[in-house]
């Protein structure tokens, strides 16, 4: 038996024998932290937020979240602070077992404040989207550790940046998240 077949068989046995994650149709609340890197940002930034997850069935879940993010562009000349409110669909192709991988996709509304160093500021509200993949790992009967990586599609579109004839930053990028969700009884 090849190593691949042995690993595959071990995975299937573990998935069937191990306890599943949260019971179906349960709602969980949690906190999350992560790193964010927009294409034109100076450096990756840390962020944090809260999430609400609802398992609708063995392969389907929903997530609502709100975060706080801060990024700098053009060597600190521009700062963007965002409060995205996101709605996501989670699809669990292998819902049994301790490790539950998922695909995630959704939309968000980004409330942002753009500040230009020694200049004006601007506030925008824009629509964005995201897609990615992650993993749920139940660590107690109603406690799940989750982590995912998402690609975000979001355009800040600041009037003040255009008025100052500055380069509009590309705010598309990746987002890596680790969260802890506690499911309600």
Element housing 124 (H / E): strand 121-140
pLDDT at 7 over 70: no
| CATH architecture observed for domain 29-183 | Beta Barrel (2.40)
Residues listed for the chain: 185
pLDDT at 168 over 70: yes
pLDDT at 160 over 70: no
Return the structure tokens found at 131. 């897609």
Q: Which of 117-131, 141-155, 157-171 has the highest mean pLDDT?
A: 141-155
Q: Which of 64, 58, 139, 55 is nearest to 93 (CA)?
A: 58
Whole-angstrom Cα distance, residue 160 to residue 120?
Answer: 7
- Residue-wise pLDDT tens digits, 89-142: 999 998 887 899 999 999 999 999 988 888 888 888 999 999 999 999 999 989
Could you please report the per-residue DSSP string of 17-84?
Answer: HS--SSPTT-EEEEEEEEEEEETTBSS-EEEEEEEEEEE-SSSEEEEEEEEEEEEEETTTTEEEEEEE
What pLDDT does 162 receive? Answer: 66
What pLDDT does 171 receive? Answer: 87
- Residue-wise pLDDT tens digits, 27-82: 999 999 999 999 989 999 999 999 999 999 889 999 999 999 999 988 888 899 99
Determine the Cα angle at 143 with ends 36 and 83, to 5°: 30
Residue 16 or residue 134, greater confidence = 134
pLDDT at 147 over 50: yes
pTM for this entry: 0.81
Q: What percent of the chain has pLDDT over 70?
A: 82
């Amino acid at each position: 038996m090849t190593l691949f077949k042995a690993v595959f068989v071990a995975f299937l046995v573990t998935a069937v024998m191990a306890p599943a994650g949260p019971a179906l149709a349960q709602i969980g609340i949690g906190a999350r932290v992560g790193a964010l890197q927009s294409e034109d940002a100076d450096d990756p930034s840390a962020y944090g937020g809260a999430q609400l997850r609802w398992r609708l069935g063995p392969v389907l879940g929903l997530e609502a979240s709100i975060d706080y993010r801060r990024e700098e562009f053009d060597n600190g000349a521009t700062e963007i602070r965002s409060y995205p409110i996101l709605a996501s669909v989670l699809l669990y192709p292998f819902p049994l077992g301790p490790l539950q991988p998922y695909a995630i996709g959704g939309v968000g509304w980004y409330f942002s404040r753009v500040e230009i160093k020694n200049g004006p500021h601007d506030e925008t509200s824009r629509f964005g989207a995201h897609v990615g993949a992650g993993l749920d790992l139940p660590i107690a009967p109603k406690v799940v550790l989750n982590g995912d990586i998402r690609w975000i599609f979001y355009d800040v579109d600041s009037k003040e940046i255009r008025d100052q004839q500055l380069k509009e930053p590309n705010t598309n990028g990746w987002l890596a998240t680790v969260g802890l969700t506690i499911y309600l009884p």
